[in-house]
Amino acid sequence: MSNPTDRKIAMIGGGGVRTPLVIFGINEAAEALGAREMVLYDPDQERLKVIAALGRAVVAKEGGSLIIRETASVEDAVEGADFVLNSVRVGGIASRAADELAAIKHGYPGQETTGPAGAAMALRTVPVALDHARVVERLAPGAWIVNFTNPAGLITQAISTHTKARVVGICDTPTELLHRITLALDARHDEVVCDYVGLNHLGWVRRIRLRGEDVTDRVLDDDSILSQLYTAPLFDFAMIRTLRLIPTEYLFFYYSRRRALENQKRQGSSRGTEVEQLNHELFATLKDRLGADDGEGAVAAYAAYLNRRSGSYMKLEASAGSAFDKDAPFDEDPFRVASGYHRIALDVMTALCGDKPARIIVNTRNDGAVPNLPDDDIVETPCQISRDSIIPEPLEPLPDEVHGLVQSVKSYERAAIRSAMNTDRLTARMAFLIHPAIGEWEPSDPLLHDLLDRCIHC
């Protein structure tokens, strides 16, 4: 890495709505990171201009010296960077909304990272993510790619397998679950240690220790604790107790597929369509306020948007709720929450700089950590992260209750990556067949017609 007081951080997909949160975090931790400049790249230059202006308003409001610069060239963004944050959505939010509605039309829950919509997202995104990773290989060979791009585990797998770039995948789902467990136990974060195992959006907590004492049974047997672990009522507590594992929220789209689909049909919508509407309203407001030189007003509007979005998370799928329900709570400070993408990204980068080693759940090469899986599989697992080093902790074998599901999803990921790289429709149909949340041959052809014919890579 370059001089620790002069680090450059690039963000590919810098026009995304999460970018100002990341800017806030990097500005806050600029001294620890040695960060001088953050360069944003996005193919949508109009959108990028708005987000960069909002990012500068965030820095001005909070104080700090972080320079925010936008660029029309991915090469300019990446060259000489120490960290490259990768957060792209090929086709934009409109593609997510269309994918989810197509899945619902064909009788599957519509969710951006799992099932048919997640497969479409993967097929659309892998070629672009690999192109970007190869730019990093060429222009910033010592940089770490911190991958936010969904489906995060699959995209990290593609980059790890098919390039020489150093990559780590991040997601706030496991850390959010751990945070909620800690709150439910009325404990400090340094008092709770959880054993976690799985893949991105397919993970489970299987052991909880509070101040060194195993309290797993206490948590599993207490309805009041279990009820605090999710933003919406997702899982039957009897199922959790029988499984003896605490699933992350995305297992809802495996364990309760019919319920998710029924609620989406009842609402007549999907999360993606609601987020698309929220985004349109946000950008209209941002343009007005930034155009009037009202940076603080733009930041306040952005914070309200984040609260409405996070406050309604999973409610549509769990109970046919909506982001537009008037009684939903939207009163947190989204910049200073204890978890979130910007927090885990900062924790990972700070640890990789060597100033603050940490135990963090990330997506990385297995390297023997999970005995049931090959070394080169990307898994989501607790790791010891220190200067330029990510070492997964050794784990017990996958429990029988989830072993088959994890193996099936990894097989699907490999097939999806192959299909995305060679644009072969039959391989894509095989990936759909293997996927345990799809698992049928005949529907795969009309699904692909509705999903991939919009994809420029297919």
| Digit-coded pLDDT (tens) for 199-216 | 999 999 999 999 999 999
What pLDDT band is residue 457 in, cutting at 50, 70 and 90? very low
Task: Let me know if residue 201 belongs to a domain.
Answer: no
Peptide linkage before 151 cis (omega within 30 of 0): yes
Residue 340 predicted with pLDDT over 90: no
Residue 150 annotated as part of some ligand binding site: yes
- Identify which of 172, 203, 215, 151 has the alpha carbon closest to the alpha carbon of residue 431: 151
**Looking at residue 456, what is its pLDDT?**
40
Average pLDDT value over all residues in the chain: 94
Residues of the chain above pLDDT 90, percent = 88
194 is in an annotated binding site: no
Please report the pLDDT score of residue 423 as a whole number: 86
Number of domains composing the chain = 2
Q: What is the pLDDT of residues 13-26, one digit of tens each?
A: 999 999 999 999 99
Q: Which of 143, 170, 197 is the last residue of a domain?
A: 170
Look at residue 16 and tell me if it is in a domain. yes
Share of the chain above pLDDT 70, in %: 97
202: exposed, middle or buried (C-beta count within 10 Å: 0-12, 13-18, 19+)? buried
Domain that holds residue 165: 7-170
**89 among annotated binding-site residues:** no
- Which residues, 6+ apart, have CB-to-CB distance to 441 below 8 Å? 429, 433
Q: How far is CA 106 from CA 101, 128, 260, 446, in A?
A: 9, 27, 14, 8
Q: Quote the CA–CA distance of 209 and 207 in Å, as a whole number.
A: 7
Q: What digits encode the pLDDT tens for the residues 355-383?
A: 789 999 999 999 999 998 999 999 999 99
Judged against a pLDDT cut of 80, whether residue 331 lies above it is answered with no
The answer to which of 98-102, 117-121, 253-257, 421-425 has the lowest mean pLDDT is: 421-425
Domain presence at residue 344: no
Res. 455: pLDDT tops 80: no
Catalytic residue chosen out of the listed positions 41, 230, 250, 305: 250
Active-site annotation holder among 42, 172, 347, 377: 172
pLDDT of amino acid 330? 61
Residue 301 belongs to a domain: no
pLDDT tens by residue, 25-63: 999 999 889 999 999 999 999 999 999 999 999 999 999
**Is residue 305 a part of any domain in this protein?**
no
Residue 77 lies in a domain: yes
User: Where does the pLDDT of residue 328 fall: very low under 50, low under 70, confident under 90, or very high at 90 and above?
Assistant: low
Q: Are 148 and 349 in contact (CB under 8 A)?
A: no
pLDDT tens digits for range 378-401: 999 999 999 999 999 999 999 999
Both tokens assigned to 312:
């309604």
Residue 348 pLDDT = 96
Specify whether 172 is catalytic. Answer: yes
254 noted as active-site residue: no
State yes or no: pLDDT of 281 exceeds 70: yes
Residue 446 lies in a domain: yes
Q: Is 443 a domain residue?
A: yes
Last residue of some domain: 147, 170, 193? 170
Residue 388 tokens, joined: 């330029």
The predicted pLDDT at position 446 comes to 94
Handedness of CA 356, 359, 361, 366 (dihedral sign): positive
- 201 is an annotated ligand-binding site residue: yes
Q: Domain boundary at 170, 196, 224, which?
A: 170
Judged by average pLDDT, the poorest of 2-6, 181-185, 228-232 is 2-6
The answer to whether 57 and 322 are in contact (CB under 8 A) is: no
Residue 454 pLDDT: 55
The pTM of this model reads 0.95
pLDDT at 355: 75
**CATH number of domain containing 68:** 3.40.50.720
Mean pLDDT of the 444-449 span? 94
Question: What's the average model confidence in pLDDT over 61-66?
Answer: 92
